[in-house]
Amino acid sequence: MSNASIADVDIKLLRVFCTIVECGGFALAQAELNLSRSTISTHMSNLETRLGFSLCSRGRAGFALTARGAAVYESSRAMLSSIDVFHDQIGQLKERIVGEVAIGVIDNLITNTDCRLRDAVRIALASAKDLRIVLRIGSPDQIEEQLVRGHVQVAISAEFQPRKGVSQVPLFVEKQRLVCGRSHPLFELIEEELTPELIAEQSSVRRGYLSPLTPYSAFFHRPALAVSHQMEGLAHFILSGNCVGFLPETYANYWVERKEMRVIRPDLFGFDVPICLSRHEGLQQTLAAAHVYDTLRNLHPS
């Protein structure tokens, strides 16, 4: 790759590389890129040849960036974001909504009927034929970090502590319930036996990220037995019968209705988590990002 200029082929290869990094490896990037694994591997080899050094390890131990690869990723992401902004600005000069908008969404929000994301996607795409929407699903801490770093332009996530330049608008609430699995000792007890003292002694599963605005772990006397960053992981631990834990009510209902889980004392342990629409006001907003943001906000009247 020449020091004097970057060719279109280099930009294409760098986009492939960034997608691989953000997906966490070659296999997971196949669907996102709509390319075969061998083609992705060829693109990576070509990029490394043009750069003159290795970007990542990709063997039985899994995918991992080299120190140089991490530096190339950060520089590439900044450059590609600038290119996207340039294209969007040119489109704005023509008064058209064009370009890609990445929305960060916390995992398993799809079970909450108050979430109008699917409607927003349909409406936004119908009114802007040159718009492309990318959904990035992750845990709240991952979505927050992606928003701050500019990897997503809009986020739907649990309320987080104020960050400089980031706005948060409440959309709806997610009701959290303490639940246990059918094989857990608390499952067959009557309500009167489920005292706060008894529950405080139970083994629990906690979220793998800090939740300073929500009391997920405040009810228990002992450290958590298990940890998960994803909602599905929490459900697996709870269904095992080894521990109790908090799940969104709409998510837990699937197993509660099948009598595989039980809600524990919702009068004492239920609480609401505000789900907010966020964007980084300190970053230049494209017309496309504003269009998606406004569509989401209008569909969630406060």
Query: Regarding the domain delimited by 1-78, which CATH topology (the fold level of the hierarchy) does it fall under?
Result: Arc Repressor Mutant, subunit A (1.10.10)
Closest residue by Cα to residue 242 from 226, 254, 255: 226
Distances, alpha carbon 55 to alpha carbons 34, 40, 62, 70, 126, in Å: 22, 14, 14, 8, 39
pLDDT digits (tens, 9 = 90+) for 40-68: 999 999 999 999 999 998 777 788 999 99
pLDDT value of residue 97? 86
CATH domain 174-271 topology:
D-Maltodextrin-Binding Protein; domain 2 (3.40.190)
**CB atoms < 10 A from the CB of 173, how many?**
15
pLDDT tops 70 at residue 201: yes
The DSSP code sequence of 150-179 is TS-SEEEEE-----TTEEEEEEEEEEEEEE
DSSP sequence for 256-286: HHTTSEEE--HHHH-EEEEEEEEEETTSPPP
Pairing of strands 130-138, 62-65: unpaired
Phi/psi at 57 (5° precision) = -100, 140
pLDDT digits (tens, 9 = 90+) for 95-151: 678 889 999 999 989 999 999 999 999 999 999 988 999 999 999 999 999 999 999
Separation of alpha carbons 195 and 189, rounded Å: 10
The pLDDT tens digits for 203-248 are 999 998 877 777 777 889 999 999 998 899 999 999 999 999 999 9
CA R_g for the chain: 22
- The yes-or-no verdict on residue 174 having pLDDT over 90 is yes
Span 72-82, average pLDDT: 91
Q: Is the pTM for the entire model greater than 0.75?
A: no
Query: Average pLDDT for residues 260-285, to the nearest whole number?
Result: 92
**Residues 172, 176: Cα–Cα separation, whole Å:** 13
Q: Is the predicted pLDDT of residue 187 greater than 70, yes or no?
A: yes
Domain ranges of the chain: 1-78, 174-271
